[in-house]
A and B are shown apart, each in its own frame.
Chain A
Amino acid sequence: MSTNGAKPKLAMYWAASCGGCEIATLNIGEHLLTVDQVFDLAFFPCIADFKVSDLEAYADGSIDLCLFNGAIRSAENEHMAHLLRRKAKILVAFGSCAYEGCIPALANLTSRQAILRTVYLENPSPDNPAGVLPQTITKVPEGELTLPAFYHTVKALDQVVDVDYYVPGCPPESEQIWAVLQTVVAALSEGAPLPPKGSIVGAGQAAVCDECPLARHEKRIPRFYRPYEIVPKPGLCLLEQGLVCLGPATLSGCGALCPQVGMGCRGCYGPLPGVVDQGARMLTALASVIDVSGKPGDDEEALARRVEEAVSTLVDPAGTFYYFSMAHSLLRRARVQDDGQGERHDATDHH
């Protein structure tokens, strides 16, 4: 696959992300040497000084593998996505942000204006009496200053460009990363077959529970608790104790790290393949086992009230269920008013 014996080229780029993916990548330890032997680092701004111009200089398709992490939150992110797509043979949505929006996409619960206002006007720190907000183009005596446009809706990588593979996780587990790299290496060097396009790589087959050592039974949840409210009994499924855990709706591959330390799974590996809307899956699963029922002849309003009481103990469903998958969810964002009053609506508002 790689032409004229020259080493295949590897690129890794961060869009709207925290850098955790890079750290996880570097965490593969001594394997880094192998990576170095196998690949030419074509573009990796996080660890060496590459310029966009360098990248633009490459022939299209000349980069063999691009690990793209971070969500698409600005025009620059999107621009880079398109650029790297052109240059790379294999474009991988690397990590939860690029794959499904992750934490940055929680911004979709509010509006761009609300965010800008909060950051530049309402924060205690900024000193901005004039109330200046960032503009794409600002005229100054010296000429025009430009900034990339700040999007209203954060998107996943595959919502702006065509993506070959997905590596889930926030961040992806290092050994999984190494495994992925090995497949690619195998493919590039020995021409071993690559998984079908669009596959999720670097993850398990079933849900997190599959790897979770906690004991599970039939579930009946009278009410939900927030982590600080109770101390979970050790060794027992957290859900059964009323602590929200997205494990059942989340693709395995992480080794169920969080539940094992008493923290419910937050769902960073995303839904199982083929599953539409991880949040909805978890919502329906939880609701199904809420322990409120009735008998014939019950007053229907009273019954509804009892159910409402029980479900309302689950605080902030949107933030809980779409912690990582907001951009990939069916609705993708919240509907907010034009004045940018994008505050998230407290679920307890409605009757």
Chain B
Amino acid sequence: MAVSHAARAAPTDFLAEVLAATPGGDPRLDRCIQCGTCGGSCPSAADMDHTPRQLFALIFAGMRDEVLRSNTFWYCVSCYFCTVRCPQEVHITDIMYALKRLAIREGLYRESGAAEAPAFAETYIDYVENYGRSFELGLATRHHLRHHPLGAIKKVAFGMELWRKGRIDLTPKRIKNMAQLSAILNKAKELEAADGRGGGA
């Protein structure tokens, strides 16, 4: 397929960028032998525009934009099947996380089919950063009101059902030492920004 030269970074650079953005020891991506075990194992492969394997091939080819525009990693459910099955012990799930972060940093995810995922994540961590705990009701409602006002009705019904069964709070809980948590998270973000490794830690 025709790829404009501009879209193609020097192969090794992008691979290096991805590796650097993946913490937790050597992610071993450079060992990939393109066997497809990941793509074969993935429960949501059907929804992905590229199978993980293809995505890796694109990374090796240095096709940065195409990779970061892909919806593949947004459909990753982090079930770790690919990771434990990979014959080369590539940390695939972690790489998917890394790609999500890079895509967000580059603002490219919006073009991917799964524009909502990051939004949902944002709403989620909003609560975590303000309360220290997640908050299902707020999470679900706020997220859905924002992104599908219509679908939200259904969601609210679901929420009500949860509430009826005593499975949901109407108000979020806040941890005691929120100040400490905020300090930690802010410092962490600062470090991450300074580091400029696409959040590779």
A and B touch in the complex (CB under 8 A): no
- List the interface of chain B (C-beta within 8 A of A): none
